[in-house]
Amino acid sequence: MTGFIVVIPARMASSRLPGKPLADIAGKPMVVRVAEQAAKSRAGRVIVAADHSDILAACAAHGVEAVPTREDHASGTDRLAEAAAKLGLADDAVVVNVQGDEPLIEPALIDRLADLLDTAGDAPMATLAHEIHDAADHFNPNVVKVALDKHGRALYFSRAPIPYARDAYAADRSVLPAGLPAYRHIGMYGYRAGFLRAYARLEAAPLEQYEALEQLRVLWHGYAIMVAVASEAPAAGVDTPEDLERVRRLLGA
């Protein structure tokens, strides 16, 4: 589909990389680099949802649309909900959340997520995943896993190894069993704008709090999340100073 809206949540505070949205990459702030990549998709509009005046100023200096949001949001989805309300988006508008630390994001992935939500029926939310091929990744709590039903809807997201191959792992945990439907969640989301407003009013879920995964609030309240399986993992984002230096080298900074 075309004409959907990309919203990029940008938060100044970061425990591992303070001021991350404004980190310089080849002469431009990272959040601007992300917006420029997102603009290569079929999106009709790309907007940064910022929690700090310096981010807003940087976006304005580079011609990137931005909207101010509160500093105290618990998650990126909550920040998007505020942005959608301020922008007055129609309930059926498709909004794609692109993380503000993904300057190498593939525009085709953004388009695929928008297309998925456009055909998702009554599911108000969509996301992406890719196959896991390494048992170490399957057992790594920093790798978020998702289990799917036969229609491609999420059954559950977890930091634990799901599905757990009971018999195979009893014998050997170092090898992923052949054919195991193990998928790593890619942290991009698409939403209907009306659902974003509803999400902001939903009670936090115990599952969400224990796993530290905001998408579990959606499943806990009975909403469906559609999942498309990408052929490969996207380029890694920027979480640490080392990540930032890697991206700078790739982009010629």
Which range marks the domain in which residue 57 is found? 4-234
pLDDT in single tens digits along all 253 residues of the chain = 788 999 999 888 776 788 889 999 999 999 999 999 999 999 999 999 999 999 999 999 999 999 999 888 877 788 888 999 999 999 999 999 999 899 999 999 999 999 999 888 889 999 999 999 999 999 999 999 999 999 999 999 999 999 999 999 999 999 999 999 999 999 899 999 999 989 888 999 999 999 999 899 999 999 999 999 998 888 888 888 888 999 998 887 5
Residue entry with tokens 């603009």: 39
Residue 246 maps to a domain: no
**In sequence order, what E strands does 32-134 have?**
45-50, 65-68, 94-97, 125-131
> Cα dihedral angle (104, 110, 111, 116), rounded to 10 degrees?
150
CA angle in degrees (0–180, nearest 5) for 245-107-126: 110
Q: Among 7, 226, 210, 227, which residue's Cα sits nearest to residue 100?
A: 7
Residue 201 maps to a domain: yes
**H or E segment and range at residue 8:** strand 5-10
Residue 243 maps to a domain: no
Residue 240 maps to a domain: no
The CATH number of the domain holding residue 204 is: 3.90.550.10
b/e map 167-196, b = 16+ CB within 10 Å:
eebeeeeeebeeebebbbbbbbbbbbbebb
**In sequence order, what E strands does 98-143 have?**
125-131
Residue 104 maps to a domain: yes
Domain tally for the chain?
1
Which residues neighbour 196 within 8 Å (Cβ) at sequence distance 6 or greater? 77, 80, 81, 84, 95
Residue 241 maps to a domain: no
- Taking the model in full, what pTM does it have? 0.90
Residue 250 maps to a domain: no
Q: Among 145, 149, 126, 150, which residue's Cα sits nearest to residue 225?
A: 126
User: In 3-state terms, what secondary structure has residue 82?
Assistant: helix
